[in-house]
Structure 1
Amino acid sequence: MSIRVNTHFDFSHIQGVIFDLDGTLADSNPDFEGLRRELGLKSGTDILAHMESIIDPVLASKTKEIVTRYELESSSRATWVTGAEQLVALFRRLKLPQAILTRNIPQAAGITLANLGLEMDLVLTRFDAKAKPHPEGVELICEQWQLEPANILFIGDYLYDLQTARNAGTKSVLYSPDLIPDYASQADIVCQCYTALIQHFNTQI
């Protein structure tokens, strides 16, 4: 399967696109489970939620240092996800505004974008809006674009991205090149290959 349409929508009605960054546009080989082990967390624990829950200032500072080091090291290795550059180019040709909504810190996001040679209309990090899956980031982007969420496409590679899309009321694409997770059913479209996604959208232009 290269692409699976769970919920059909007309791409010609899309007026703006929001991307997640790591794993969606950028391949930075993030080892979230390794980070969780270093922090002493159980598999699947929301790292940012854990950081926010720490009361002890010394532990909070140490945890922040570890997470920041991880983010910067991961970003320094970033390269394009296969087909992502062509997907961005398609949206540019169609003159659709594009934005990035990431849970990264600004410095890490900046390093990743520099490695890709990518400039975006808007880049929101966790310093700019409540972290996904909270819809605030999408709401801020829609407000600036003066567009309705229903006409926005959110593209990401993880559960938080799909939850953000649902919470904000946008359409969603899950990029999952390998195994298809159980939560894939929450996406409007599931794709393992951006080339197939581009072909799908081209049929509706």
Structure 2
Amino acid sequence: MQAVLFDLDGTLVDTAPDLGYALNLQRARHGLPFLPDDTIRPHASHGSRGLLAIGFGLEPTDSDFDAMRHEYLSLYTEVMTRQPVLFDGMAETLADIEQRGLRWGIVTNKPRRFTLPMIEHMGLSSRASAVVSGDDAPLPKPSPQTLLLACEHMQIDPASILYVGDAERDVQAGKAAGMTTLVALFGYLSDTDKPQEWCADGYILQPQELLAYL
């Protein structure tokens, strides 16, 4: 392995508190009470689609979905750097990867207008060898396009890259790209998720466990 690529939300960075706070601000706007963080957290990896489903029971086919999504994203823009933090053990894991002379990067379905300000705020932009967002390629994950774009940026063969994510689409994209895939079980998995059925190459309960695959 020459490099590690991470999904962002729910794998590298714990963004659920800010994603949930924006949703609750939106619910308050519409006369609804705040939802508990534990209710929102399992849906945080599924972006605005998943959040609007748990917050308002909305699906993309609903007539007011686009307007509500626009409102949600506007609110999230205001609070997205409120308290994002690396998951416990991730700072040490990144340092270990760098000490081994390996590189790491980020491939996320999060739009670039959110991804770049966040990692800049967290001081990660100068350390990541590649940062690819969901709108940097025609198709986001589960398509392998964004992962392959990261490979081009890093000039590393996909077979020499470990991809870590917390959603089934991460495993699907990683396998389609020809990478070794790990499921971050510490991420935003819901009760209905069945990660053992995703056919990943491994499963980790904490970030440091990925080092064994290097």
**Secondary structure, in 3 states, of the residue corresponding to 2:134?**
coil
Match for residue 189 of structure 1? 202
| Offset of residue 145 of structure 1 | 2.6
Match for residue 41 of structure 1? 58
**Secondary structure, in 3 states, of the residue corresponding to 1:177?**
coil
TM-score by length of 1: 0.73
Cα distance change, pair 135–116 in 1 and its aligned pair in 2 (3 A): same
Alignment of 1:173-184 (within 5 A): 173-177=182-186, 181-184=193-196
Q: Deviations over 1:151-189 (max 9, x none)?
A: 111011111111111111100111112779422342211
CA RMSD, Structure 1 to Structure 2 (Å): 2.8
Of the candidates 132, 135, 159, which is equivalent to residue 141 of structure 2?
132
Cα distance change, pair 65–125 in 1 and its aligned pair in 2 (3 A): farther
Q: Which runs of 5+ in 1 are unaligned?
A: 1-13, 43-49
Inter-partner Cα distance in structure 1 for 2:78 and 2:157: 34
| Offset of residue 21 of structure 1 | 0.6
Inter-partner Cα distance in structure 1 for 2:124 and 2:90: 11
| Structure of greater relative contact order (alpha carbons < 8 Å, 6+ residues apart) | 1
Inter-partner Cα distance in structure 1 for 2:77 and 2:194: 27
Of the candidates 102, 112, 123, which is equivalent to residue 117 of structure 1?
123
| Offset of residue 124 of structure 1 | 1.0
Identity %: 26
Q: What letter matches 1:77 in structure 2?
A: Q
Alignment of 1:87-126 (within 5 A): 87-119=93-125, 120-126=128-134
Inter-partner Cα distance in structure 1 for 2:96 and 2:74: 33
